[in-house]
Amino acid sequence: MSADSQPKKTPLYDVHQDLGANLVDFAGYLMPLRYASETAEHKAVRTGAGLFDLSHMGEIFLSGPEAAKALDHALVGNLSPMAVGKARYTMIVAPDGGVLDDLIVYRLADQTYMVVANAANVDVVREALVERAAGFETAVDDRSDSYALIALQGPDAAGILARFTDAPLADLKYYAIMAGQVAGVDALIARTGYTGEDGFELFVSSGDAVKTWQTLADVEGVVPAGLSARDTLRLEAGMPLYGNELTSATTPFDAGLGRVVKFDKPGDFVGRSALEAAAQTPAGRRLVGLVARGRRAPRKGYAVVTSDGTPCGVVTSGAPSPTLGKPIAMAYLDSGVGETGLAVDVRGRHEPVDVVVLPFYKRS
């Protein structure tokens, strides 16, 4: 393996090693899969607070007088009307309507936006934005290596973070962002997350990552959490994962996320004609939730079958649910398939499942 193909290390790599994390190559980065018990990490986020290193995510800035117009053209959402300090979930699609990535866009100032992309897709998103913004008066700047991203998630997150910042967290609504200091470190504080719980994502300079992490990790009850817990948390919350529920062969409408596509915004956008056709055409499949009746968990790629064993869909994500105490999954079912008498082929055995409305878990 050549040196340039070695996985990257986040600014918190040494911290994870000291904590005894099981480190794995994820999207080109050495990331903590778990520290001890992924179930304990999961439950800490549901009942208290968990701390995540998300520094593998990408931060791409667009700035200039036509930054908003460029994003309206490049993405499926309508970003121009979004107020400063707000965030929006959106997607970037190919001309054929296939999803290239799902994104969160933050408006940091009148002419400045931050696009947060999934780690595996940063290059694709950056290159697409550069190409699509070429005709607009805006600059595209990938600052991913300059930022660390630390997430504090769970019902206790707000109370814990308030101990280390003077920022008015009570005024920070869900899907909003503000500049402030955390433990004396300059940060962008966003009330966003991928766990189904209240929480915050803190964008800090790479050099401030260890101090920020350690300050929060030293609080009694805060539990470092890895990728495994993050995956079961987002699965319970019914949140799609790129590469699973979303792919370049999937349109937003396939995934039941057509609401993020804004046809009423002014001007054209990449993928509009394909998505207009997709919106008018009955989907060939639909995304559903599955709860297994037995103990064997459906996994990504397993076939969903009818009562006579006929394949009728495929599992996109699956795992035992620590909160529900049962295996759960998201799956695409073929058009016209009913929701009774289904099973998942788990290594040759047909395990009965029940179709349920997503999400599996919603905080009270």
Over the stretch 217-259, which tens digit does the pLDDT of each residue have? 999 999 999 999 999 999 999 999 999 999 999 999 999 999 9
Task: Tell me the CATH class for 282-356.
Answer: mainly beta
* Mean pLDDT for the stretch of residues 165-189: 98
Give percent of the chain with pLDDT exceeding 70.
99
Single-letter residue type at 16: H
Helix (H, G, I), strand (E, B) or coil at 131: helix
pTM of the model: 0.96
The strand pairing partners of 343, in sequence order, are 305, 352
pLDDT digits (tens, 9 = 90+) for 333-350: 999 999 999 999 999 999
Residue in 129, 146, 137 with CA at minimum distance from that of residue 204: 146
Total Cβ atoms within 10 A of residue 108 = 18
* Mean pLDDT for the stretch of residues 138-162: 98
* Mean pLDDT for the stretch of residues 64-70: 98
Name 67's Cβ contacts closer than 8 Å, sequence gap at least 6: 111, 112, 113, 136, 138
Block residue for tokens 């290193």:
53
Single-letter residue type at 43: K
- Per the model's pLDDT, the better-predicted residue between 239 and 3 turns out to be 239
Model confidence band, residue 2 (pLDDT cutoffs 50, 70, 90): very low
Total Cβ atoms within 10 A of residue 277 = 13
Model confidence band, residue 1 (pLDDT cutoffs 50, 70, 90): very low
The 8 Å CB, 24+ separation contacts for 272-280 are: 274/93, 274/95, 274/96, 274/97, 275/76, 275/93, 275/97, 275/251, 277/97, 278/97, 278/251, 278/253, 278/254, 279/253
pLDDT digits (tens, 9 = 90+) for 310-328: 999 999 999 999 999 999 9
Task: Tell me the CATH class for 3-55+146-236.
Answer: alpha beta
pLDDT value of position 284:
84
pLDDT value of position 5:
79
Domain boundaries, the chain: 3-55+146-236, 282-356
With beta carbons less than 8 A apart as the criterion, state whether 113 and 71 touch.
yes
Q: What does the CA dihedral 189, 195, 198, 200 come to, rounded to 10 degrees? A: -10
pLDDT value of position 364:
83
Helix (H, G, I), strand (E, B) or coil at 172: coil
Give percent of the chain with pLDDT exceeding 90.
97
The strand pairing partners of 223, in sequence order, are 50
